[in-house]
Amino acid sequence: MKNLARAAIVTVVATGSAQAGGIDRSGQSIEVLFERGNYAEFSFGAVSPSVSGTVATPLGQRSSGDIADSYFQVGAAYKHQATEKLSFAIIYDQPFGADVKYSGGSVPFAGTPDATAIGNIAAGAWPIAGTDARLDADAITGLLNYRFTNGFGVHGGFRVQTVTADSNVPLVAGYSVDGQGDEGLGYVAGLSYEKPEIALRVSLTYNSTIETTHRTTETTVVFGTRTSKTKIETPESINLNFQSGIAKDTLVFGSVRWVNWSDFTISPRDYQILTGGPFLSYTSDTYTYTLGVGRQFTKNFSGSLSATYEDNDDGSPVSNLGPTSGKLGFTVGARYENENGMILSGGVNYTFVGDAVTTIGALPRTQFKNNDAIGVGFKVAYRY
């Protein structure tokens, strides 16, 4: 059972975030803190989402085509056991991200936003063809973990996060925006309980908001090119993780993640003036649930199966820059660890992406249905 507790059930991390709520990607895992001894890892994941929608127009139905680009996830971590009770870790991840593109060129701006949409529709294109958006976040987290003799422990530290973003929305007066990268500081705090003889571990971790202020360059046919400052505050979140042995060489594990997306907003100045609303926001928080089982087949080889569920919202329209709501995903993972401390693990995830609706001006609601995503992840680690 002790060997199973060290098995790589964590392949879910590299593959299970396909099309997560909001712009959530890595899940902000700190599980490396609980690895035995000194430990280093590098992980790589690739996610290929397929997201498309339709809308009824006076000239017939129009299709968006696939708007979600494939993306890669890279992570690395190092954990050092300083004393029997004290350890520390450094973690690099990419916690948030977005990459959306409505293919096709927008019809040249003709005096009003409506003229652009009408021109696109008349040309057989999606009303907001030519719209794209990208957001990238990279974070480095430093953590300490202290174990008490009664099985309880506390952990915490600081996170430095860099965010960059840019977008083009031709429908809004030929709008484009580029946000210069900026760094912000946040913190992490949590507690845990372990009972190694039954492979039991429960951890609760809070991740604070992180605010960055970006020098923003906006270009429109109305105002020309102007610069301003735009604040982006990535949301706070809470992760509850657990695992426990349930039979010889068999482990159950899971997690619950809450993210406070309802307070998240991005509002560049000129976009707010032109539209009267934020560039990007969400109406509800997300709760993501994962449950799985791990099995140790031999001394060196183990595998896992898990399911991840994220509730669909109340049916309210979502952003055209992220037209999904909820998900149901399944992950198969495997891990091999040899006697010299080398660990190889990987997993494959398939996710049914939740249906969503969006709005484009006075047109009927767009329908994004029957979408999915496939992810693969690999991890190389060394324990010493």
pLDDT in tens, 155-174: 999 999 999 999 999 888 88
Structure confidence at residue 16 (pLDDT) = 46
Query: Which residues of the chain carry a pLDDT beneath 50?
Result: 2-3, 5-10, 14, 16, 109, 115
Q: Please state the separation of Cα 12 from the chain's center in Å.
A: 13
Distance CA 137, CA 175 (A): 23
Structure confidence at residue 241 (pLDDT) = 98
Q: Residue 354's closest CA among 368, 336, 340?
A: 368
Sign of CA pseudo-dihedral 97, 13, 205, 310: positive
What is the amino acid identity at position 124?
G
For residue 377, give both structure tokens.
């992840």
Distance CA 150, CA 216 (A): 52
Pairing of strands 200-207, 210-220: unpaired
Distance CA 77, CA 42 (A): 7
CATH match for 2-383 among 3.10.200.10, 2.60.40.1180, 2.40.160.60, 2.20.25.90: 2.40.160.60
For residues 226 and 270, the answer to whether their CB atoms sit within 8 Å is: yes
Contacts of 294 (CB under 8 A, 6+ apart): 4, 7, 9, 243, 250, 251, 252, 253, 302, 303, 304
Structure confidence at residue 114 (pLDDT) = 52
Structure confidence at residue 128 (pLDDT) = 86
Structure confidence at residue 17 (pLDDT) = 52
For residues 194 and 234, the answer to whether their CB atoms sit within 8 Å is: no
Report how far apart, in Å, the C-alpha atoms of 5 and of each of 151, 185, 253, 302, 337 are: 15, 33, 10, 10, 13
Backbone angles phi, psi at 271, to 5 degrees: -60, -40
DSSP alpha helix (H) spans, 183-306: 269-275
Distance CA 151, CA 132 (A): 50
Structure confidence at residue 106 (pLDDT) = 64
Distance CA 228, CA 156 (A): 35
For residues 25 and 96, the answer to whether their CB atoms sit within 8 Å is: yes
Structure confidence at residue 216 (pLDDT) = 98
For residue 65, give both structure tokens.
């085509």
- Percent of the chain that is helix, strand, coil (3-state, to 5): 10, 60, 35
Structure confidence at residue 18 (pLDDT) = 56
pTM of structure: 0.92
What is the amino acid identity at position 105?
G
DSSP alpha helix (H) spans, the chain: 2-5, 11-15, 113-122, 269-275
Structure confidence at residue 101 (pLDDT) = 93
Structure confidence at residue 8 (pLDDT) = 42
Backbone angles phi, psi at 363, to 5 degrees: -70, 160
Distance CA 121, CA 62 (A): 7
Distance CA 154, CA 140 (A): 20
Backbone angles phi, psi at 263, to 5 degrees: -100, 5
CB-based burial, 259-295: b 16+ in 10 Å, e otherwise:
bbbeebebebbbbeebbeeebbbbebbbebebebbbb
CB atoms within 10 A of CB 87: 24
